[in-house]
């Protein structure tokens, strides 16, 4: 390899352990929350305030996209813009196919539960009624993403956001605050005018409305772009840290202090009656309301400022979470199917109290095993490719 080639290769920064650790933790929490009625739900993020793992999942997805694709987009003048766009759109296509597979597998799980075990109530859960009673239009809706079954409906929005991500990254690298301002305006208009992607054959729109949820994804994207350059998008500030902690405490009191929460909810209702947009005063998840958004951003900011969080994330005991985080799509897909199977299992063993206690830990262990297998396969592939790459580099060296 020539000296020019060596110098032209981008500097590889150490992998931030927090990204994989928190992504793995979020995937575990999503799995737990997607098996309703188990005690472990009391330990997940949604008990800390208004937001849950979904907001953090979109934020982490944006960070991952910014880290993974910003360098390719930045070199578009040398390599061509398509060379930067293609990997992002390829990933969006993979997410679409993954969503279709998970949807069909989820339908099959509940159909098996109904046919083999007589659990006919499963056929009306999780937005499945249309699939079994209005099959033709439902199939069209599934393929066009207009019909999404419950608990398997987060990937379509992520896929749509990745289609726009190359252009957002390009703007964010040169005018980050212009990109953020546009994202805020789009988010506000989405809630004000109820802008969303249409559902079909049902009325309404997507549960995770990408027109609104793009805002927290954009925060993540800009964070990832900055991390790629060894910087922070939102700098450390004692004032901002104090404001964030104060808001987190207020939200906890809002949720758990008697009379305080109802009083604030009443004030929000009064503001709504005066004409304040509903996504400013409500908790409607579809339009990413301000209260949930600020809670998620405050929590993420506080955690990002604490050095102990980095040390804990890098600890050997946290490696299982980092492993699951590195295999994000695989673990999410496996967790989605396991959670649907868990829902069917809990219906079948409705009177057996120990089943939820056992199923969730067993499911988490299965997710770790699946992540280990995925990582082992990835490492094996790298070992197989290395001799070929070394041979190629040797050939380049002899020709330089």
pLDDT tens digits for range 319-365: 999 999 999 999 999 999 999 999 999 999 988 889 999 999 999 99
Say yes or no to pLDDT of 95 above 80.
yes
Residue from 92, 72, 213 nearest 163 by CA = 92
What is the structure's pLDDT at 169? Answer: 96
Please say if the pLDDT value at position 242 is more than 70: yes
Q: Which position has the higher pLDDT, 400 or 168?
A: 168
Please tell me the predicted confidence (pLDDT) of residue 76.
77
Q: Name the residue with tokens 């813009």.
A: 81
Is residue 28 predicted with pLDDT exceeding 50? Answer: yes
What is the per-residue pLDDT for 264? 95
1 has a pLDDT exceeding 70? no
* Ranges 11-20, 26-35, 234-243, 385-394: which has the least confidence: 385-394
| Residue 183: closest CA among 192, 194, 172 | 172
Radius of gyration of the chain (CA): 23
397 or 235: which carries more pLDDT confidence?
Answer: 235
pLDDT, residue 115, reads 95
Please choose, from the candidates 45, 33, 55, the residue with its C-alpha nearest in 3D space to the C-alpha of residue 335: 33
216 neighbors 297 (Cβ within 8 angstroms): yes
Percent of the residues in the chain that have a pLDDT greater than 70, as a whole number = 92
**Which has the higher per-residue pLDDT, 45 or 5?**
45
Taking residues 377-391, report their average pLDDT: 67
What confidence tens digit (pLDDT) does each residue in 170-180 have?
999 999 999 99
Residue 302 — pLDDT band, cuts 50, 70, 90?
Answer: very high
**Bigger pLDDT: 7 vs 85:** 85
312 token code pair: 């804990």
- pLDDT, one tens digit per residue, over 194-224 is 999 999 999 999 999 999 999 999 999 999 9
Whole-angstrom CA distances from 210 to 59, 186, 200, 205, 335 are: 13, 10, 16, 10, 22
The rounded distance, in Å, linking the Cα atoms of 305 and 322 is 20
Rounded-to-integer distance, Cα 207 and Cα 152, Å: 11
Mean predicted confidence (pLDDT) in 257-276: 95
Q: Is 70 exceeded by the pLDDT of residue 384?
A: no
Q: Would you say residue 27 has pLDDT above 90?
A: yes
Output the pTM of the full model: 0.91
The pLDDT of residue 390 is 53
pLDDT of residue 266 exceeding 70, the answer is yes
In SS3 terms, the chain reads as CCHHHHHHCCCCCCCCHHHHHHHHHHHHHHHHHCCCCCHHHHHCHHHHCCCCHHHHHHHHHHHHHHHHHHHHHHCHHHHCHHHHHHHHHHHHHHHHHHHHHHHHHHHHHHHHHHHHHCCHHHHHCCCCHHHHHCHHHHHHHHHCCCCCCCCCCCHHHHHHHHHHHHHHHHHHHHCHHHHHHHHHHHHHHHHHCCCCCECCCCCCECCCCHHHHHHHHHHHHHHHHHHHCCCCCCCCCHHHHHHHHHHHHHHHHHHHCCCHHHHHHHHHHHHHHCCCCHHHHCCCHHHCCHHHHHHHHHHHHHHHHCHHHHHHHCCHHHHHHHHHHHCHHHHHHHHHHHHHHHHHHHHHCCCCCHHHHHHHHHHHHHHHHHHHHHHHHHHHHHHHHHHHHHHHHHHHHHHC
pLDDT digits (tens, 9 = 90+) for 96-133: 999 999 999 999 999 999 999 999 999 999 999 999 99
Exposure letters 65-98 (e unless 16+ CB within 10 A, then b): bbbebbbbbbeeeeeeeeebbeebeebbeebbeb
Q: CA separation (Å) from 245 to 239, 263, 297? A: 10, 21, 11
Mean pLDDT lowest for which of 11-20, 51-60, 77-86?
11-20
User: What is the maximum span of the chain, computed from C-alpha positions, in angstroms?
Assistant: 78
pLDDT of residue 79: 79
Average pLDDT over every residue of 370-380: 91
Average pLDDT, the chain: 92
Extents of the domains making up the chain? 1-48+318-393, 58-238
Q: How far is CA 269 from CA 52, 62, 273, 281, 289, in A?
A: 22, 33, 6, 7, 14
Tokens of 136: 């033709």
Which tens digit of pLDDT belongs to each residue from 37-56?
899 999 999 999 999 999 99
Say if residue 394's pLDDT is above 50.
no
- pLDDT at 11 exceeding the cut of 60: no
Query: Which range among 5-14, 238-247, 270-279 shows the weakest confidence by mean pLDDT?
Result: 5-14
pLDDT recorded at residue 400: 44
Mark 199-217 as b/e (b = at least 16 C-beta within 10 Å).
Answer: bbebeebbbbbbbbbbbbb
Question: What is the per-residue pLDDT for 353?
Answer: 86
Give mean pLDDT, residues 305-309: 97
């Amino acid at each position: 390899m020539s000296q020019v080639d060596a110098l032209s290769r981008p500097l590889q920064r150490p992998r931030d352990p927090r990204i994989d650790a928190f992504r793995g933790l979020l995937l575990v929490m999503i799995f737990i929350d997607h098996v309703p009625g188990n005690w472990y739900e009391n330990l997940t993020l949604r008990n800390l305030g208004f937001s849950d793992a979904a907001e953090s999942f979109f934020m982490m997805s944006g960070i991952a996209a910014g880290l993974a694709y910003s360098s390719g987009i930045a070199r578009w003048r040398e390599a061509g813009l398509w060379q930067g766009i293609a990997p992002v759109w390829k990933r969006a296509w993979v997410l679409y196919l993954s969503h279709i597979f998970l949807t069909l597998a989820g339908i099959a799980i509940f159909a098996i539960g109904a046919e083999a075990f007589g659990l006919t109530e499963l056929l009306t859960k999780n937005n499945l009624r249309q699939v079994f009673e209005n099959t033709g239009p439902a199939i069209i809706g599934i393929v066009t993403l207009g019909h999404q079954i419950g608990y398997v409906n987060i990937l379509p929005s992520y896929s749509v956001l990745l289609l726009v991500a190359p252009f957002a990254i390009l703007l964010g690298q040169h005018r980050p605050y212009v990109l953020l301002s546009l994202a805020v305006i789009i988010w506000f208009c989405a809630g004000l005018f109820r802008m969303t992607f249409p559902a079909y054959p049902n009325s309404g729109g997507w549960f995770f409305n990408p027109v609104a949820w793009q805002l927290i994804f954009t925060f993540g994207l800009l964070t990832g772009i900055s991390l790629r350059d060894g910087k922070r998008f939102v700098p450390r500030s004692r004032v901002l840290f104090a404001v964030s902690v104060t808001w987190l405490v207020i939200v906890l009191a809002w949720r758990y202090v008697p009379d305080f929460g109802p009083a604030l909810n009443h004030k929000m209702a009064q503001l709504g009656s005066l004409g304040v947009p509903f996504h400013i005063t409500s908790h409607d998840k579809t339009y990413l309301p301000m209260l949930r958004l600020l809670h998620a951003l405050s929590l993420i900011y506080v955690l990002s400022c604490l050095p102990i969080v980095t040390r804990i994330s890098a600890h050997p005991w946290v490696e299982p979470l980092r492993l699951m985080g590195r295999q994000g799509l695989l673990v999410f897909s496996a967790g989605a199917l396991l959670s649907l199977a868990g829902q069917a299992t809990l219906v079948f063993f409705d009177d057996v109290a120990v089943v939820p206690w056992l199923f969730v830990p067993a499911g988490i262990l299965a997710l770790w095993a699946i992540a280990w297998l995925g990582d082992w396969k990835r490492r094996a592939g790298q070992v197989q490719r290395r001799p070929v790459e070394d041979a190629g580099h040797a050939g380049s060296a002899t020709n330089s």
